[in-house]
Amino acid sequence: MSKAKVLTTEQLEQFETEGYLIIRGLFRKEELAEIEEVFEEISQTAVPGYFEPELDRAADDPLKRYPRVMHPHRFNDKAMRYMLHQPVLAVLRELYGEPALAAQSMFYYKPPGSRGQALHQDNFYLKVEPGNCIAAWTAIDAADEENGALLVVPKTSQHEISCPETADEQESFTTHYIKPPKDKTAIPAVMGKGDVLFFNGNLIHGSYRNRSKNRFRRAFICHYANESAVRIASHYRPLFKEDGTIVYLESNPDGGPCGSEFETLYPH
Ligand SMILES: O=C(O)CCC(=O)C(=O)O
């Protein structure tokens, strides 16, 4: 039996032409409360390889106290469940025109005062082929210009993957920077709690610093590949089907047009 459609023609067109789409209120209040609880608990611990706060350096940089959590689905069942959140997968199925495979989860606390992430393109890191990755960026707190909302550069989703320049380390906690084309500007994606922003792996995006005094800007961020993809960078294996079954795509070898040194030093 075919599944009921969740996106309108206009929404599909927006994703095609602009490269991103915000779906309002895709996570319910109780679900958001559960996600908050999971990551509050994680923030009180250390999980080697996935969440490694450096408490002695927290006074200099709020991200040392609250670094991003990498791949929480690999050690937390609830994170796995939310990476495979049915309403998100239903949207992805329509954006891809086929089912999605879940490749990565992350959680950003982005406390007040913390640096942002310089503009970049996700498929530079994920190397999904053939096809592309799509991110589902869920606002756990309302996000706006003051607390460092995600920035998107509309219509860059058709651009080729470019080789990064060096980011301004005063403003970005990551080291890569992709300069937007001259005729394009980054705009903030202003979002409410529980809204989800979908964007494809070529779209140039990033975020500014959290300039607020006391507002975290937490986000649960997952990356997906189309089910027909054959290869992905090794950092993202294994992947998961909608029903949670494990899938091993081939490992996309390091390198590509920008050389191999980028890949191993700076996983996304
Ligand atoms: O949430 C942010 O500040 C940046 C996240 C991002 O760029 C990404 O997940 O690719």
Of 158, 127, 152, 126, the residue nearest 137 (C-alpha): 152
- Residue 172 is assigned to a structural domain of this protein: no
Q: Which residue type does 7 have?
A: L
Give backbone dihedrals phi and psi of 199, rounded to 5 degrees, phi first.
-150, 155
Q: Mutation test of ligand 1: which of 69, 83, 110, 117 has the most ligand atoms closer than 8 Å to its C-beta?
A: 117
CA dihedral 5, 249, 77, 24 (to 10 degrees): -30
Answer yes or no: is 21 within a domain.
yes
Flag whether 173 is in a domain. no
- Atom 5 of ligand 1, residue of closest alpha carbon: 206
Distance CA 195, CA 250 (A): 33
Report how far apart, in Å, the C-alpha atoms of 28 and of each of 84, 87, 99, 243 are. 15, 10, 23, 21
Any domain includes 53: no
Per-position DSSP letters for 136-194, written without gaps between them = EEEESS-B-TTTT-EEE-TTGGGSPP---EE--TTTBSS-EE-PPPTT---EE--B-TT
Of the residues 63, 105, 151, 221, which should be mutated to test ligand 1's pocket, given the most ligand atoms within 8 Å of the CB?
221
- Predicted confidence at residue 59, as pLDDT, reads 86
**Per-residue model confidence as pLDDT tens digits over 212-256:** 999 999 999 999 999 999 999 999 999 999 999 999 999 998 666
Domain that holds residue 74: 9-45+58-114+127-142+193-200+212-265
Please tell me if the CB atom of residue 141 comes closer than 6 angstroms to any atom of ligand 1. no
The pair of structure tokens assigned to 20 is: 């991103």
For residue 92 and ligand 1, the question of a CB distance below 6 A is answered with no
Q: Is residue 40 part of a domain?
A: yes
CATH code, 74: 2.60.120.620
Domain count, the chain: 1
User: Is residue 248 in a domain?
Assistant: yes
pLDDT under 70: residue ranges of the chain: 1-2, 254-257, 259-268
Residue pair 254/264 in contact (Cβ under 8 Å)? The answer is yes
pLDDT for residue 3: 75
Q: Where are the alpha helices (DSSP H) in 6-61?
A: 9-18, 29-43
> Per the domain annotation, does 62 fall within a domain?
yes
Tell whether 30 is covered by a domain: yes
Q: Is the CB of 117 under 6 A from ligand 1?
A: yes
Q: Are strands 231-233 and 250-252 parallel, antiparallel or unpaired?
A: parallel
How far is it, in rounded angstroms, from Cα 229 to Cα 251? Answer: 11
pLDDT tens per residue across span 128-159: 999 999 999 999 999 999 999 999 999 999 99
